[in-house]
Structure 1
Amino acid sequence: MKTMWHYAMRQKGLLALNFICVFGFVIIELGLPTLLAKMLDVGIVNNDFEYIKKIGGYMIVTIAVGIFLYLSLAIVGARLNTRLVQQMRDDMMENIQRFSHQEYEKIGMSSLITRTTNDAFQVMTFMGMILRTGFVTPIMFVMSIVMIVRTSPSLTTFVIGALPFLLLGILFIAKRSEPLSTKQQKNLDNINMILRENLTGLRVIRAFVNEKFEEKRFDEVNTNYADSSKRLFKLMATAQPAFFLLFNLVMVLVIWFGSIQIDAGSLEVGNLIAFIEYIFHALFSFLMFSSVFMMYPRAAVSARRVQEVLDMEPAIKNPENGVKETQTNGVLAFNNVSFAYPGNSESPVIRQVSFEANPGETVAFIGSTGSGKSTLIQLIPRFYDVTRGSITIDGVDVRDYDLSALRQKIGYIPQKALLFSGTIEDNLKYGKPDATEEEMREALDIAQATEFVSQKEKGLDEPISEGGSNFSGGQKQRLAIARALIRKPAIYVFDDSFSALDYKTDATLRARLKHETTESTVLIVAQRVSTIMHADKIVVLNEGEVIGIGTHKELLQTCPIYYDIASSQLSEEELA
């Protein structure tokens, strides 16, 4: 509830207006039966037509004002509720953007999507209920009880006697619904996870003819979600008939004993009708409030999951007064760097790595699969923090940089090229928002992407599907490279970014890069020796340790593992 009220209190003006509409609506709702009682007991009994007309006029005005206040309550509540959930999602997204890989792995991608969409929606639904009825019903109930006691204290006993049964029913349902709601949301996380895996891995599933297996797997989690939902909805569904049974029983008793009192002359007909109206408002308000109360456990589960995202502190923190500018530009040094993934500190994947890279140099990394190449370069932009040692850029520890300033120095091209939905121009400007068309054309030309972009019907305005699915692997890699080139950063990081290119394109692109990056530091992770054999320095990794540093020719003579890798890919003439 704290989470929900935190966001509601941000809209104090709308909240105050909502309260005003609530009070006005309640007074009018309870005023109508009072006016009706006077019309019956005074106007009709005394055959006073003028009095009847006057009270009838008051009732028409009351109804008109009531309709206006009810519509205002609905409009104000809807506006307040939508702003509330909008701000909640904005705050979640802002915090998610600050997460490191550790937080993503802890919560899970599918769960983050569920929390941002479905959980926020559950909170919105509950707050909508609170704003429409949650404020109205307690006030209506209290004022109705006051009017009931004033009208006929003797008949009040039946209403008061029904309240403990209603309260016990609400508490029972609330207690049973919370664990069911928790289970339901976890099952929804599993549905999103499997659906996400199915959609992204569709080609693999078809290639291995595992459609039936995936259908069965999805059906299992979907059935679990359906079962938990059925149990929750059955619990909610049984509440309303039980409450209405009790409600009708009270009404029967009131009418029965009220008619006896009318016959005895101790109660007037108008007062009995007004009393019935008050009872209706009191019990119906209690019933509506119980619905809100029963929804609370489900909303509380969602709010708790949302709050977990909002409260989670990223492991990679942006330092206060972090360094934003340095005198040199692109001098990189690894100083006895070791790294272990969080929770696995006894098994570091990088051990005692030291090397330097200066502007104008190309430093390459090669090694067997799992040797730690990609992990090593992900430490530079602080996707992870080193466990021991330090990484410095221009003499400053990367942990002392302002994160934006640090990453602004780096042009990162990931192992798996990722394009965003939009156009080619949108994706290029992701690297530099104010890039001119000339700069974009130049970046595409260096990345060897000009030919296929010019063949597109709309050129730079060519739409890109989600994940770049309407482009080939090689085209996506070249566009990703162009996106980094357009920034003209101090350090380029190519994480096996040439793997989808043919040898000719690879060679041409690297030649252009050599010419364009003379003032930048270039780091290349590669599996192909031909991609890195002309690098100024090659770092050979094996099981997280540096086992050789030197040029291609030097390593062929001094590093057996590098020689084995090279001999498996190059001809004897190239090895000579």
Structure 2
Amino acid sequence: ITRLTTDVTNLQNAFQMIIRMAARGPVILVFSLSAAFSIDAKLSLIFLGAIPVLGVGLYFVMTRCHPIFKRVFKTYDKLNLIVQENIHGIRVVKSFFREDHEIKKFKDVSKDIHDDFKKAESIIAFNMPLVQFVMFATMLLLSWFGARAIVASGNNPALGLSTGQLMSLMTYTMQILMSLMMLSMVLVMISISRASAERIAELLQEESTLENPQNPIYEIPHGEIRFENVTFRYSDESEKPCLDTVDLRINSGETVGILGGTGSSKTTLVQLIPRLYDVVEGRVTVGGNDVREYDLKTLRDEVSMVLQKNVLFSGTIKENLRWGDETASEEEIIRVCRLAQADEFIQKFPKRYDTYIEQGGSNVSGGQKQRLCIARALLKKPKVLILDDSTSAVDTKTDAKIKKAMYEEIPDTTKIIIAQRVSSVQDADKIIVMDEGKIMDVGSHQELLERNEIYQEVYRSQVKGGNDDE
């Protein structure tokens, strides 16, 4: 956020100053120096002695300030993060009565920024006294040597320097030193904005490692998915892979459930299908072709994914749903909402499908948000539909209705369902049990109950929990 706000503002201010002062300053300096040398070349050499003094002083200011400003903007990132966390988690902060702790954390970071800026400004403040010292020292030297030259020439321009010429030199001195002052201000502003420019450049130069191949495939024939000896890690530095030598085949049109504990890499597995990440070893195929051979837009249009964290944007329900298909008619929108069991609650809103969704979907419940996101994904008419724990906030009855509607209405679509509840996946054609990045077993509900300990443990704990509740 800091790179998009504070850094951009610093760069804008620097640019506005540079285009005014950096254009005028050098022109005034060159013409004033030329005029001064045409009057008296020897006396004008004083200016050439003043410029290196200013240069050394400005070099000191810039080299000392740049590391401080670089550190300040990183601290700004931390400050913005604290503010963002507190805004999003204000209810949690209040419920745990942590207001004083969060205020102290904010003040500590603010103090770091204050101290760094104070230190930087104290160094920058050295710039103005230096310029004024050089200015008045130059005028004193010109007055001293000029007066002696006038006395020696008897105030005769033909023999040496006259009073009028000395006054002209004084005028040019003011012009030269004012231009040097402008340039010094420009250089100081550059030292401030340099850190911001570097941070913005880092952002602009960041390139995605996921690129279209030279001759991409623009059509996915069917929804068959294969994982062939797939190994994946998020970082090259990670010793242990998130997925380790995974082999899996999902036939087109199958409904597949994925079950496993937290951290078993269920989400990581399915994120490789729409190529949100590339595998480290092995390959993932959809429709018989490696996902890296497809055009990215084609692949992601045909592999629709509803993420764990459901996101809705500011706008009407229609506008949010049309992220799936911009040209979708109202009838198509209603159809997918009925499939996702969203039409029922939408019809209760006064404006129905024209109801405005606040930022982040804050004016709808968690379950309603999930159903809208499922409807949005269905609107793409994908060959592969992935639901990543996307019905966790929906009651069991509604969850069952959604699954039933999918089985009946989109039988040719390959459906992958990640869930924590056995009831959400027990009717699937096959269920994948994962643990620590490996596929431990694949089979139907009944087969896994007979032979897989992990599945048995999850099933029994949920059945027992359900009986206890009853």
Q: TM-score, normalised to structure 2's length?
A: 0.91
Say whether residues 1:133 and 2:133 are aligned partners: no
Cα displacement string for residues 517-548 of structure 1 (whole angstroms, at most 9, x for unaligned residues): 21210000000111111111111112222222
Q: Which amino acid aligns with 2:26?
A: P
Q: Secondary structure at the match of 1:116?
A: coil
- What SS is found at the alignment partner of 2:392? coil
Q: 1:492 aligns with which of 385, 388, 404?
A: 385
Shift in Å, 1:344? 4.4
Give the aligned residue type for 1:187.
Answer: T
1:293 aligns with 2:183: no
Aligned-pair CA distance for 1:343: 2.9
Q: Distance in 1 between matches of 2:163 and 2:356?
A: 74
Return the match for 1:189 from 69, 77, 92.
Answer: 77
Render the CA deviation track for 1:314-345: whole Å, top value 9, x for unaligned: 2333322222224x221111222222221344
Identical positions, percent: 39
TM alignment of 1:40-119, pairs within 5 A: 113-119=1-7
Task: Give 1:157 deviation, angstroms.
Answer: 4.2
Distance of 2:5 and 2:215 partners within structure 1: 35
Determine if contact 1:333/1:356 at 8 Å carries over to the other structure: yes
Offset from partner CA, 1:424-462 (integer Å, 9 cap, x none): 222111111222222222222222222332333333332
Secondary structure, counterpart of 2:258 in structure 1:
strand
Contact 2:28 2:175 in 1 (8 A): yes
Deviations 1:533-566 (A, max 9, x none): 1111111112222222111122111212212211
Please give the alpha-carbon distance, in whole angstroms, between the structure 2 residues aligned to 1:461 and 1:140.
62
1:353 CA displacement: 2.3
Residues 403-414 of structure 1: matches in 2 within 5 Å? 403-414=296-307
Post-superposition offset of 1:572: 11
> Which stretch of structure 1 is more off in the superposition, 496-505 or 466-475?
466-475
Mapped partners of 2:143, 2:46: distance in 1:
11
Q: What amino acid sits opposite 1:198 in the alignment?
A: N
Q: Could you tell me which amino acid in structure 1 is paired with residue 192 of structure 2?
A: R
Unaligned runs of 5+ in 2: none
1:164 alignment partner in structure 2: 52
Q: Which amino acid aligns with 1:450?
A: D
Per mean C-alpha deviation after superposition, the further-off stretch among 463-472 and 157-166 is: 157-166
Q: How does 1:215-294 map to 2 (within 5 A)?
A: 215-254=103-142, 264-266=154-156, 271-294=165-188
Q: Do 1:338 and 1:387's aligned partners in 2 also have CA atoms closer than 8 Å?
A: yes
**Structure 1 residues 423 and 572 mapped into 2: Cα distance closer, same or farther (>3 Å)?**
closer
Q: State whether residues 227 and 249 of structure 2, in contact with CA within 8 Å, keep that contact through their aligned partners in structure 1.
A: yes
What is the 5 A alignment of 1:326-337? 326=220, 328-337=221-230
For structure 1, which segment, 299-308 or 166-175, has the greater mean C-alpha deviation from structure 2 after superposition?
299-308
Counterparts of 2:67 and 2:171, CA distance in 1: 38
The answer (yes or no) to whether the contact 1:411–1:485 under 8 Å persists in 2 is yes
Amino acid at match of 2:77: D
- AA aligned to 2:51 is L
Q: Distance in 1 between matches of 2:189 and 2:332?
A: 56
Aligned length: 461
Deviates more, 1:512-521 or 1:266-275: 266-275
Q: Contact (CA 8 Å) 2:223, 2:253: kept in 1 or not?
A: no
User: Secondary structure of 2:2's partner?
Assistant: helix
Question: Does residue 1:559 correspond to 2:452, yes or no?
Answer: yes
How much does 1:483 deviate?
0.9
Give SS of 1:541's match: strand
Is this contact kept in 2: 1:381–1:410, CA < 8 A? yes
Contact 1:333 1:392 in 2 (8 A): yes
Question: Is the deviation greater in 212-221 or in 453-462?
Answer: 453-462
- TM-score, length of structure 1 as denominator length: 0.75
Query: 1:63 — aligned with what?
Result: none
Report the RMSD for the aligned CA atoms in angstroms: 2.4
Please give the per-residue CA displacement for 1:347-387, whole angstroms capped at 9, x wherever unaligned: 12222322222332110100122211111111111222222
Residue 212 in 1 paired to residue 81 in 2? no
Bigger fraction of residues in helix = 1
| 1:210 counterpart letter in structure 2 | R
- Whether the 8 Å CA contact 1:541–1:547 is kept in 2: the answer is yes
Q: Which residue of 2 aligns with 1:199?
A: 87
Q: Which moved more, 1:331-340 or 1:343-352?
A: 343-352
Q: What CA distance in whole angstroms lies between the structure 1 residues aligned with 2:26 and 2:466?
A: 89
Change over 3 Å in CA distance of 1:465–1:234 after alignment to 2: farther
Preserved CA contact (<8 Å) 1:359 1:518: no
